[in-house]
Amino acid sequence: MAREQFGICAEPNLHGSYLLFNALDDKNAFIRTALSRLPALFEDYGDQFSEANLTGVIAIGANYWDEFYPQARPKHLSAFPAMNSDDRLAPASSVDIYIELRSDRADVNHIVSSKVCQLLADSVELIEHIQAFRFLDGRDLTGFVDGTENPQGMRRREVALVKEADDAEFSSGSYLHTQRYQHNLTLWNSLQNKEQEDVYGRTKLDNIEYESEDKPLTAHTKRTSLKDEQGNAIEIVRQSMPYGDMKRQGLFFVSYCHSPKPFEIMLKSMIHGDDHGNVDHLLKYTQAETGAAFFAPSLSFLATLEDK
Ligand code: HEM
């Protein structure tokens, strides 16, 4: 059975470093070799700084995959589902390579990020580097705990990883979506506590879910807690983290799944809403500025890349 990349299902950390690159022309062979060596690099630094709980993820953009690995493509890999309605936007950005580093030490993330950039050298252009951090007890910068209803324990692997029976060559890989949201905290902080809680459908301080009958249809947790036609929960594994400084701040949203569909269904429910026009009111206070779709192949697949 193929082994997944350890960062996909890892528990939350104190610090995140997200590197987004574009590949330069004619560098594919070099990039394949460089990426095949990254898991060993992560492991070495993970051993050296064992208390930091370092994990990494390497993922390939949907629009770059065929150039990167023309031999085969993950079955459901498709472009980011850009959408918009009124002032609710989910734009798509062009990104070829995604590297996620998470640990409990910002300095360790910095060292490993530098090594990643050195190894990829002039085969890529760095588009964006987001340095993210844990806020209080795992809260988003709006002050609400983020991640409570995430799948836990072994369920994470079931939700996040492609199964052997679904796509043998790409089993234990994961479909990944990212969006960088920028918050309007001035507007958000002008709301009363109860108004903020209604936006999420959860209480703020003690993080309790509203009773179903009290939850507005426009609450974020109403719009994203969905079931399929057979009544099964539609799930993703979220590994988002807050980022920012005094100029811009928000959430770097990260979702892993065995299929790209659940993310798309949830995003559609947030932006386009239900048949009665109930859209996600969280989007009044935050806006997605980027969006990208990737596939994070298994460690076993990455190990084969050096010879391709
Ligand atoms: C700025 C953007 C976002 C913020 C600040 C945010 C924050 C939160 C918070 C605080 C919760 C409640 C606690 C929890 O269960 O984690 C939550 C729940 C959730 N969010 Fe988001 N979220 C954002 C975007 C998204 C997006 C884009 C999606 C998917 C397309 C999503 C999917 C979910 C799901 C599935 C839940 C759990 C719902 C439940 O079962 O109750 N979120 N989010």
Q: What is the per-residue pLDDT for 205?
A: 97
> Which amino acid residue places its CA nearest to atom 19 of ligand 1?
221
For residue 188, which of 249, 130, 138 has the smallest C-alpha distance?
249
| Closest ligand 1 atom, residue 179 Cα | 27
pLDDT tens digits, one per residue of 250-274: 999 999 999 999 999 999 999 999 9
Residue 300 lies in a domain: yes
CA of 61 to the centre of ligand 1 (A): 23
CA of 146 to the centre of ligand 1 (A): 7
Sequence length of the chain is 308
List the domain range (segments joined by +) for residue 234. Answer: 15-307
Mean pLDDT of 40-53: 98
Q: Would residue 1 count as lying in a domain?
A: no
Average of per-residue pLDDT values in the chain: 97
Q: Indicate whether 78 belongs to any domain.
A: yes
Asked if 210 and 219 touch (Cβ cutoff 8 Å), the reply is yes
Residue ranges around ligand 1 (CB below 6 Å): 140, 142, 144-149, 179, 181, 200, 202, 220-221, 224-225, 236, 251, 253, 263, 266-267, 286
Closest-CA residue, ligand 1 atom 41, reads: 221
Inside any domain, residue 23 = yes
Q: Is 70 exceeded by the pLDDT of residue 308?
A: no
What's the confidence (pLDDT) of residue 1?
A: 78
**CA 149 to ligand 1 centroid distance, Å:** 9
Tell me: pLDDT of 299 over 70. yes
Q: Work out which ligand 1 atom sits closest to the CA atom of 139.
A: 10
Is residue 6 in some structural domain?
Answer: no
At 76-104, the pLDDT tens digits run: 999 999 999 999 999 999 999 999 999 99
CA of 225 to the centre of ligand 1 (A): 9
Q: How far apart are CA 148 and CA 134, in angstroms?
A: 14
**pTM for the structure as a whole:** 0.98
Residue among 80, 142, 146 whose CB has most ligand 1 atoms within 8 A, to mutate = 146
Give pLDDT tens digits for 48-73.
999 999 999 999 999 999 999 999 99
Answer whether residue 132 is part of any domain.
Answer: yes
10-19 residue pLDDT tens: 999 999 999 9
Residue 113 has which token pair?
């990020």
With contact defined as beta carbons under 8 Å apart, do 176 and 296 qualify?
yes
Give the number of domains in the chain.
1
280 in catalytic set: no
Structural domain includes residue 2: no
Q: What is the pLDDT of residues 93-133, one digit of tens each?
A: 999 999 999 999 999 999 999 999 999 999 999 999 999 99
Closest residue to atom 43 of ligand 1, CA basis: 146
Q: Which ligand 1 atom is the nearest neighbour of the CA of 266?
A: 30
In a domain, 215, yes or no: yes
Residue 306 confidence class, pLDDT cut points 50, 70, 90? confident
Residue of 146, 167, 198, 280 marked active site = 146
Q: What is the pLDDT of residues 144-183, one digit of tens each?
A: 999 999 999 999 999 999 999 999 999 999 999 999 999 9
pLDDT digits (tens, 9 = 90+) for 214-241: 999 999 999 999 999 999 999 999 999 9
